Amino acid sequence: MKGARFLAASLPTAEKFWWEGTMEGPSGHSSSAKTASFQDAVRMLNTLQTNASYLEQAKRQRGDPQTQLEAMELYLARSGLQVEDLDRLNIIHVTGTKGKGSTCAFTECILRSYGLKTGFFSSPHLVQVRERIRINGQPISPDLFTKYFWRLYHRLEETKDGSCVSMPPYFRFLTLMAFHVFLQEKVDLAVVEVGIGGAYDCTNIIRKPVVCGVSSLGIDHTSLLGDTVEKIAWQKGGIFKQGVPAFTVLQPEGPLAVLRDRAQQISCPLYLCPPLEALEEGGLPLTLGLEGEHQRSNAALALQLAHCWLQWQDHHDAGELKESRPGLLWQLPLAPVFQPTSHMRLGLRNTEWLGRTQVLRRGPLTWYLDGAHTPSSVQACVRWFCQALQGRERLSSGTEVRVLLFNTTGDRDSAVLLKLLQPCQFNYAVFCPNLTEVSSTGNADQQNFTVTLDQVLLRCLEHQQHWNCLDEEQASPALWSAPSPELAGPASLLLVPHPPHSSASSLVFSCISHALQWISQGRDPVFQPPSSPKSLLTHPVARSGASVLHEAAAVHVLVTGSLHLVGGVLKLLEPALSQ
């Protein structure tokens, strides 16, 4: 990367650029954060490609993925930073297939409980894009986001030449922006969640993290990372660095062996986390802010990451060791067993991570929100949902209704995911795109330029077809009958005729708002849209279902399959998140 280093040498220092440079708005003229609005910045950001198009680009270029890391280093240099500057962030770098975001959230909250100033970069966002860049657990403010966005955007514009593309894609831009924000806001540490994979993820320009973590591995992004867990493990192990300690949770033997080999090849000390029960022995049980049995594995990894970081800092309260000579398992040394400190307990208890095993209780309605989107994470979601139903207060009278609200995107196999959800015994299965409204022009955070409404609705119809086939154990010849003309408008309820003897009716709506209106029947005290389209009750299943939902003593709604879907639901159910 000589070119990147040469270019960086000719640029002003990061400090000079970020604090002496003017901020320009969309017009190119100097302006204040108040003039260049947050929504203007987000709209401009959206033009840099969304995650879907980034995936397509990465698939085409994966023959030489190393060049993508080099390109990221060049973007970093053009922004006024060198990779060595990132060492000052004292980074905790975390990857995995499921649970990596929750692990990061636990880790950040634990270290924040020590009074440290934390940075946290994660993806995707649920409601507002600024959620991806957090300081002390809170998304950066709209003004701060706007300020840093335009400074980086115009700096990259100023340093472009004929040999390079002026702007990085969406995720890379946000990664660069997070590094600048954390450096300029002088955080004590940064928890950085990998976007996709690890080896060739743009966050992997980090050269000297303090510690690395790998959460549970499974199958996801197969067209990009490989079609076996072993291939995916090789990608995830790509974040290991020579001499930098790394921790992982118990994995199947095959992928664990791949991680072990990856670590040995570069002299990375890799440790296997003992279960949370080992840290609880002889003390009080640990209380977690996130529900679900699977969160205990994430919390165990987070405790090791935080403990290692504190030891690296020679912190006096890093946790007293219980065992001085840890054993071996699968030829990997076990991470130390220590007594969690009061700060660690507080951090675990106070952790919040929206859209993951989250419950909202609203009168007769209970919303269960979990962005599970891989087979293993959906299995964990089903266990959590069923356990939550078993632990609920029993009704003395009246009916209970279970509703599934589902969507999934990308190359994920919805038939596999839906089959895993069958044991929940839903009365209704509802499918809709990840659009809060049919038109998202008024909300830049929800815009996606890479797909059309027709494309996402067809995908929902495919989900419904899979569900109906699973429900009936045979395909119905009527499944793909065309909707009647009066239902064809964009604001309509789109339905495929349902088999006559099915135990659970299925519906497809054109947006999240319409789906929630039908499910809630005006009974959610917070979600009160001004009026419902008449088309929501056009179909007989919708009419009969509306009556059932309106009269039910309790309605339990599981929202899953996509974090983007969960984000859209949260936007409508929790309006304060948009403010």
Cβ proximity of 129 and 445 under 8 Å: yes
Please enumerate, by residue number, every residue annotated as part of a binding site for Mg(2+). 123, 193, 221
Q: Which amino acid is at 83?
A: V
Q: Residue for token digits 């929100």?
A: 369
Please enumerate, by residue number, every residue annotated as part of a binding site. 123, 193, 221, 356, 370
Q: What pLDDT, in 10s, does the model give residues 373-421?
A: 999 999 999 999 999 999 877 766 789 999 999 999 888 899 999 999 9
pLDDT for the residue 182: 98
Assign 359 a pLDDT band (cuts: 50, 70, 90). Answer: very high
Please enumerate, by residue number, every residue annotated as part of a binding site for ATP. 356, 370
Residues 402 and 274 in one domain: no
Lowest mean pLDDT among 93-107, 326-340, 496-510, 563-577: 496-510
Cβ proximity of 496 and 482 under 8 Å: no
pLDDT for the residue 443: 62
Which domain CATH number covers 282?
A: 3.40.1190.10
DSSP alpha helix (H) spans, 10-96: 14-20, 38-46, 51-61, 66-78
Residues 144 and 191 in one domain: yes
pLDDT for the residue 455: 82
Judged against a pLDDT cut of 70, whether residue 4 lies above it is answered with no
SS3 of 297, please? helix
pLDDT for the residue 259: 97
Highest mean pLDDT, choosing among 28-42, 43-57, 262-276: 262-276
pLDDT for the residue 445: 61
Q: What pLDDT, in 10s, does the model give residues 309-320?
A: 999 999 988 888
Averaged confidence pLDDT in the chain: 85
pLDDT for the residue 478: 40
Burial of 320 (0-12, 13-18, 19+ CB in 10 A): exposed
Assign 498 a pLDDT band (cuts: 50, 70, 90). Answer: very low
Cβ proximity of 270 and 256 under 8 Å: no
pLDDT for the residue 27: 42
pTM for the model stands at 0.86
Assign 161 a pLDDT band (cuts: 50, 70, 90). Answer: confident
Residues 240 and 94 in one domain: yes
Residues 321 and 374 in one domain: no
Which domain CATH number covers 513?
A: 3.90.190.20
Beta bridge partners of 91: 190
Q: What pLDDT, in 10s, does the model give residues 12-37?
A: 333 333 333 334 444 443 444 444 68
Residues 189 and 141 in one domain: yes
Q: Has residue 486 been placed in a domain?
A: no
> Among the three residues 310, 329, 350, which one is the final residue of a domain in this structure?
350
Residues 363 and 329 in one domain: no
Assign 61 a pLDDT band (cuts: 50, 70, 90). Answer: low
Residues 362 and 343 in one domain: no
What is the full DSSP assignment across 452-499? Answer: -HHHHHHHHHHHHHHHHHHHHTS--TTTTPPPPGGG-STTSEE--PPP
What is the full DSSP assignment across 400-456? Answer: EEEEEEE---TT--HHHHHHHHGGG--SEEEE--S-SSS--TT-GGG--TTS-HHHH
In angstroms and rounded to an integer, the radius of gyration of the C-alpha atoms of the chain is 24
pLDDT for the residue 65: 75
- Higher-confidence residue of 470 and 165: namely 470
Q: Domain limits at 210?
A: 62-350
Beta bridge partners of 212: 93, 246
Residues 153 and 255 in one domain: yes
> Among the three residues 350, 381, 403, which one is the final residue of a domain in this structure?
350
Q: Has residue 20 been placed in a domain?
A: no
Q: Has residue 364 been placed in a domain?
A: yes
Residues 153 and 183 in one domain: yes
Q: Which amino acid is at 355?
A: G
Cβ proximity of 149 and 23 under 8 Å: no
Q: Provide the number of structural domains found in the chain.
A: 2
